[in-house]
Amino acid sequence: MDFDLSDEQRQLKDSVERLLKDTYDDLNLRKGYMKEPKGYSDALYKQYAELGLMAVPFSEEMGGLGQGLTETMIIAEAFGRALALEPYLPTIVLAGGVLRHAGNQAMAAELIPAIVEGKQTLALAFQERQSRYDLANVSTTAKADGKGGYTLEGEKSVVWGGDSADKLIVSARVSGGRADRSGIGLFLVDAKASGVTRKGYPTQDGMRAADVTLSSVRVGPEAVIAGPDKGLDVLEVVADEAIAALCAEAVGAMAALQELTVDYLKTRKQFGVPIGSFQVLQHKAVDMYTAVEQARSMAYYATMMAADPDPKERRKAISAAKVQVGRSIKIVGETGIQLHGGIGMTMEYKAGHYFKRLTMIDLAFGDADHHLRQLAAAGGLQ
């Protein structure tokens, strides 16, 4: 048991934080990136690649650095603190996670070098309008063409980073009923392939997503990433790693919002004194701090358990982390806005942007109540 970062991990943390501080500290810079064609800074995305961030989770044989989830946690936390827009989560954690776990060596060898160099972005199209938080609820169909290929038909919704991604990884049902656990395959689809229509839009947190319509999209046997016997298993392990990363991102954003709030309480004067001299506000700030620290603890726990070989233990731990982080998000986000007063309500000030990103993180891959239900149904943690 040791919570210290290694020298390499500390270096990684320092270099990511330094880069993001220079490029994101000013909220106007972020607004500028949002207006770029892809809705984020392509130049910055390339810089991440130069720093080696894209290579972090991939094995050395695949051209990566072979690092673990701790490094991903460090990066995600820094992204949260900066409110970075670039599609690291969709490309590296989600789509990259599928490539790592599905075990299709040929496809990995073909795609990962371009991902690592920052030349290609991917998105994972796993959600549908009716699916809510159930990864197995898939109505998009994949019909075998008899030659090893498939024809995809259906609609995927809120695909993070989906409007600018070069390639999509799509979950589609090869067999079984709508929410059956088996029968789901994962397919690689070129975003510009015939029959693919994307409707892109900004999301509440300033990022971008797309609804994707697949109309008789034909893919060859080489596009099958995971067959119907294992698609859901891959999706589940990738979702759990993504939840761990999102927990870390939330911790970064919550810590930044909490610090911003404390600074504000110390400088804002009313009744002739800094409002931070009032005990009722101090105690609320302490409750924010406690909520951040409890969430940080569970983000570490999620990072540790996301690689647990027992899927049942892994799922329970990830659910527990998402519960804590979701509850902390509500405390830190809402109190952060309240303690700022009117300025917290404006688009010009950073607090509100943290609040919005945090709120969207709670809604990603299951909110606190969803995961509490899952955890309770699985018998709890002990």
Partner 1 sequence: MELRFSAEENAFREELRTFFRTAVPESIRKKVSENRHLSKEEMVTSHKILHSKGLAVPHWPKEWGGADWTPVQHYIYTEESQFNGIPQPLPFNVSMNGPVVIAFGTEAQKKRFLPRMAALDDWWCQGFSEPGAGSDLAGLKTTAVRQGDHYIVNGQKTWTTLAQYADWIFCLCRTDPTAKKQLGISYLLIDMKTPGITVRPIQTLDGGHEVNEVFFDDVKVPVENLVGQEHRGWDCAKFLLGNERTGIARVGYSKQRIARIKELAGRVMTGSKSLMEDDRFREKVAAVEVELKALEMTQMRILSEDRHRKSNTPNPASSILKIKGSEIQQATTQLLLEIAGPLALPYQTDEEEHGANALLPDIDWAAPAAPTYFNYRKVSIYGGSNEIQRNILAKAVLGF
Q: Both tokens of residue 231?
A: 């698609």
Burial class (CB in 10 A: 0-12, 13-18, 19+), 182: middle
Residue 33 lies near partner 1 (rule: CB under 8 A): no
Of 142, 189, 295, 332, the one binding partner 1 (CB under 8 A) is 295
Q: Which residues contact 250 (CB under 8 A, 6 or more apart)?
A: 80, 295, 299, 325, 328, 329, 358, 361, 362
DSSP 8-class letter at 130: T
Please give the residues from 52 up to 81 whose contact with partner 1 meets the rule CB under 8 A: 70
Residue 345 lies near partner 1 (rule: CB under 8 A): no
Angle between helices 279-305 and 311-340 (to 10 degrees): 160
Residue 289 lies near partner 1 (rule: CB under 8 A): yes
Tell me the number of residues near partner 1 by CB under 8 A: 42
Q: Both tokens of residue 275?
A: 């409002």
Burial class (CB in 10 A: 0-12, 13-18, 19+), 177: exposed
Residue 109 or residue 378: which is nearer to partner 1 going by CB?
Answer: 378
Of 92, 158, 262, 331, the one binding partner 1 (CB under 8 A) is 262
Residue 323 lies near partner 1 (rule: CB under 8 A): yes
Residue 128 or residue 367: which is nearer to partner 1 going by CB?
Answer: 367
Of 234, 251, 265, 306, the one binding partner 1 (CB under 8 A) is 265
Residue 151 or residue 282: which is nearer to partner 1 going by CB?
Answer: 282
Give the pairing of strands 122-125 and 273-274: unpaired
Q: Which residues contact 241 (CB under 8 A, 6 or more apart)?
A: 69, 72, 93, 97, 306
Candidates 93-101, 169-177, 236-244, 288-296; binding stretch for partner 1 (CB under 8 A): 288-296
Cα gap 340→266, rounded to integer Å: 11
Residue 271 lies near partner 1 (rule: CB under 8 A): no
Of 175, 290, 359, 363, the one binding partner 1 (CB under 8 A) is 290
Residue 329 lies near partner 1 (rule: CB under 8 A): no
Candidates 17-25, 163-171, 295-303, 337-345; binding stretch for partner 1 (CB under 8 A): 295-303
- Closest approach of Cβ 341 to partner 1, in Å? 18
Residue 7 or residue 342: which is nearer to partner 1 going by CB?
Answer: 7
Q: Are 169 and 122 in contact (CB under 8 A)?
A: yes
Candidates 143-151, 198-206, 210-218, 271-279; binding stretch for partner 1 (CB under 8 A): 271-279
Q: Is the alpha carbon torsion for 112, 116, 118, 121 positive or negative? A: positive
Q: Are 328 and 320 in contact (CB under 8 A)?
A: no
Candidates 145-153, 169-177, 232-240, 286-294; binding stretch for partner 1 (CB under 8 A): 286-294
Candidates 44-52, 145-153, 181-189, 317-325; binding stretch for partner 1 (CB under 8 A): 317-325
- Closest approach of Cβ 52 to partner 1, in Å? 19
Between the alpha carbon of residue 3 and those of residues 81, 94, 297, the distances in Å are 20, 26, 10
Of 107, 282, 330, 363, the one binding partner 1 (CB under 8 A) is 282
Residue 1 lies near partner 1 (rule: CB under 8 A): yes
Query: Any idea of the CA torsion for 137, 140, 145, 146, to the nearest 10 degrees?
Result: 0
Q: Is the alpha carbon torsion for 84, 90, 96, 101 positive or negative? A: positive
Candidates 75-83, 91-99, 190-198, 371-379; binding stretch for partner 1 (CB under 8 A): 371-379
3-state secondary structure of 58: coil
Residue 294 lies near partner 1 (rule: CB under 8 A): yes
Q: Return residues touching partner 1 (CB under 8 A).
A: 1-6, 9, 70, 262, 265-266, 276-277, 279, 282-283, 285-287, 289-290, 293-298, 300-301, 303-304, 320, 323-324, 372-373, 375-377, 380-382
